[in-house]
């Protein structure tokens, strides 16, 4: 009669008994933190304006306000008098330079048709 005994070849199972509950705890903790982060981000997104002003418009408005303030100041000549009266302190953007370089063969903006007879 041969007796076969079950042999545990997988190591001590008592030390790994905490792995399952610890993994569950970590997963639940990550799920809670994800929910909290999503709620916080939604609150922040609701506070944002619908659209932001164009930086070029802001620069132009600041330039106009500065020139108006210079003109209203008594006894002071406006900054724009002199040889550089045409020049503005506002830098031209890359799109302005791009628009100036558009030739006759360029594609028209969306919604406009070019005269084909020319």
Contact 71, 78 (CB under 8 A): yes
pLDDT for 25: 95
Phi/psi at 67 (5° precision) = -65, -40
CA 57 to chain centre: 19
- Whether residue 30 is predicted with pLDDT greater than 90 in this model: the reply is yes
Count of Cβ atoms closer than 10 Å to residue 60 Cβ: 13
Q: What is the pLDDT of residues 56-110, one digit of tens each?
A: 999 999 999 999 998 888 775 555 555 455 555 555 555 555 555 555 555 555 5
Cα(31)–Cα(34) distance, integer angstroms = 5
pLDDT for 118: 46
């Amino acid at each position: 009669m041969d007796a076969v005994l079950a042999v545990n070849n997988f190591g001590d199972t008592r030390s790994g008994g905490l792995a399952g509950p610890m993994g569950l705890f970590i997963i639940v903790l990550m799920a809670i933190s994800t929910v909290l982060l999503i709620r916080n981000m939604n609150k922040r997104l609701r506070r944002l304006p619908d659209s932001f002003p164009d930086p070029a418009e802001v620069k132009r408005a600041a330039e106009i306000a500065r020139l108006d303030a210079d003109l209203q100041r008594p006894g002071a000549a406006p900054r724009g008098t002199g040889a550089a009266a045409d020049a503005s302190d506002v830098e031209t953007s890359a799109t302005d330079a791009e628009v100036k370089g558009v030739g006759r063969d360029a594609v028209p903006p969306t919604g406009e048709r070019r005269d084909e007879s020319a």
